[in-house]
Amino acid sequence: MAERYDIVVVGAGPGGSATAYYAARSGLKVLLLDRQEFPRDKPCGDGLMPHAASEVSLMGLGDWLEEPRHGKFTGFSIYTQNAFLRQSVPPTLHGTHGYVSRRQETDAKLLERATSAGAEFRSNTRATELLRSSAGSVTGVEAANGETLRFETPLVVAADGVGGFAREGMKAHQNAVARRQYFRGVNGPDKDYLHVFVTKDMNSSGAGYGWVFYLGDGYANVGAGVSTATLERSRRNLKGFYDRFLEEPELREWLENAEPEGPPKSWSLKMGMWGAKRYSQGLMMVGDAGSMVHPISGEGVGYAIESGRLAAAWAHEAHARGDFSATLLSGYERQLRRQRAKEHLSGYALVNLVPNLQLLEPLFKACEKDPAARKTLVEGFIGDTPIYSLLKHPRTLARALQGIISERQGSSARA
């Protein structure tokens, strides 16, 4: 006989573990499935922005974050073609610092919190099908772990990242790719800052950036990510962009005596909330499965946890009312939009309307000279404000616009 649960969560990354943790704490009988054995690695920059660190702390892991093997950052150094922006973390309700923690450990810790709250976890168990009655209501999940398993439930949360478990036209196409590698002994400045490189190579035909994020244990996470549009326009691959990034003057110097810990690993992302469907009858999508990755920074761990926390609240509400309809679950979507749509829509518009980020060089240069605008730019990057908040700095924007116009006039004269 199939086992029965109040909710089945597919995928035990940050989104799935957060959903399972909050749902179990609210008294629901929770099953959490993952196709992998934990602890498992997930290619990531490992950066936890202040809002993400707040989510991790809310799950009872504040002391764990403070352990010295994790990096703790208090600011950003942004290197562009012509500008250098150095900015401490703008203070918000979430504090003035963030962390860098290997996903292998972060995800295992979040999962541990879910199971200690009462969620049942099955590893090496791949969800293969969402089961619905002939009337269309979700009735359960079919899964495989060497044999075929069936779990009965009226409510499923898909937290399977870029996996495609919940077909039903829910998934938006991936629009970016990124690659990262660990190095020991990276010898750069300001190890308590996140270093972000908006290079000419990655931005002359699209959008992308490279990074160096220091852990606290002598290692650094080094990586690069570009939009799939960049790959198409340049006819290059991600490996080519990453290898070229390691040749940037700063990287050559910093990595001179550094040892790679293993080969680089790549993964894909869907940046920006738009294009995805996040609920239907008996189903909610969280984290990357619900396109919750920030459209500019590519940051998704905090949003995965946040969406899992909200999905769990709606799961509790659905059970309390005995109502698993799309109408009820649309409340989850509305709440997410209220929380995040401004940043996502404006960031998505910026990245999609500007044909290449190199055009924004005059903006970076203007922000370099204006501390208030620089702070807003960084707040936009870390998801604390919509990028259109730069409109609060009209003089700097006017200077940037002048720069863009003279740059364009210069290039047409040269042509």
Ligand X SMILES: Cc1cc2nc3c(=O)[nH]c(=O)nc-3n(C[C@H](O)[C@H](O)[C@H](O)COP(=O)(O)OP(=O)(O)OC[C@H]3O[C@@H](n4cnc5c(N)ncnc54)[C@H](O)[C@@H]3O)c2cc1C
The reply to whether 50 sits near ligand X by the rule CB under 6 A is: no
65/400 with CB nearer ligand X: 65
Q: Give 193's strand partners.
A: 75
| Options 5, 7, 15, 386; binder of ligand X; rule CB under 6 A | 15
Taking the CB of residue 22, how many other CB atoms lie within 10 A of it? 26
Task: Give the shortest CB-410-to-ligand X separation in angstroms.
Answer: 35
Number of residues engaging ligand X in binding (CB under 6 A):
42
The reply to whether 210 sits near ligand X by the rule CB under 6 A is: no
Task: Give the shortest CB-316-to-ligand X separation in angstroms.
Answer: 20
Say which residues have a Cβ less than 8 Å from residue 247's Cβ, sequence separation at least 6.
none
Half-sphere exposure of 344 (CA within 13 A, CB side): 21
Say which residues have a Cβ less than 8 Å from residue 5's Cβ, sequence separation at least 6.
29, 30, 31, 120, 151, 152, 153
- Distances from the Cα of 178 to the Cα of 28, 39, 118, 240, angstroms: 36, 21, 35, 12
Cα separation of the two ends of the chain: 73
The reply to whether 36 sits near ligand X by the rule CB under 6 A is: yes
Task: Give the shortest CB-292-to-ligand X separation in angstroms.
Answer: 7
The reply to whether 127 sits near ligand X by the rule CB under 6 A is: yes
273/366 with CB nearer ligand X: 273
Nearest Cα to Cα of residue 18 among 39, 4, 28, 32:
32
Which one of the spans 79-87, 175-183, 312-320, 373-381 is the region binding ligand X (CB under 6 A)? 175-183
Site string for ligand X, 82-121 (x = CB under 6 A): ----------------------------------------
Q: What share of the chain is helix, strand, coil (3-state, %, to 5)?
A: 40, 25, 35
The reply to whether 178 sits near ligand X by the rule CB under 6 A is: yes
Site string for ligand X, 375-394 (x = CB under 6 A): --------------------
The reply to whether 47 sits near ligand X by the rule CB under 6 A is: yes
149/178 with CB nearer ligand X: 178
Nearest Cα to Cα of residue 381 among 270, 271, 294:
294
149/363 with CB nearer ligand X: 149
C-alpha–C-alpha distance, residues 186 and 100, integer Å: 15
Nearest Cα to Cα of residue 169 among 276, 92, 274:
276
| Options 6, 55, 112, 160; binder of ligand X; rule CB under 6 A | 160
Instruction: Give the strands of the sheet with 148-152, arranged side by side.
Output: 3-4, 148-152, 138-144, 126-132
Which one of the spans 275-283, 292-300, 316-324, 368-376 is the region binding ligand X (CB under 6 A)? 292-300
Strands (DSSP E) found in 133-238: 138-144, 148-152, 156-158, 176-184, 193-198, 208-214, 219-227
Look at the chain and count its residues. Answer: 415
Task: Give the shortest CB-402-to-ligand X separation in angstroms.
Answer: 34
C-alpha–C-alpha distance, residues 203 and 198, integer Å: 7
Which one of the spans 87-95, 270-278, 281-289, 350-358 is the region binding ligand X (CB under 6 A)? 281-289
The reply to whether 347 sits near ligand X by the rule CB under 6 A is: no
The reply to whether 140 sits near ligand X by the rule CB under 6 A is: no
| Options 9, 13, 20, 312; binder of ligand X; rule CB under 6 A | 13
The reply to whether 193 sits near ligand X by the rule CB under 6 A is: no
Q: If phi over 0 gives left and psi between -120 and 50 gives alpha, with beta otherwise, what is residue 136?
A: left
The reply to whether 159 sits near ligand X by the rule CB under 6 A is: yes
Which one of the spans 253-261, 297-305, 348-356, 383-391 is the region binding ligand X (CB under 6 A)? 297-305
301/390 with CB nearer ligand X: 301
Q: CB of 270 within 8 A of CB of 162? A: yes
Residues that bind ligand X (CB under 6 A): 10-16, 33-36, 42-47, 52, 126-127, 159-161, 163, 165, 178-180, 223, 225, 267, 269, 287-289, 293, 298-302, 304
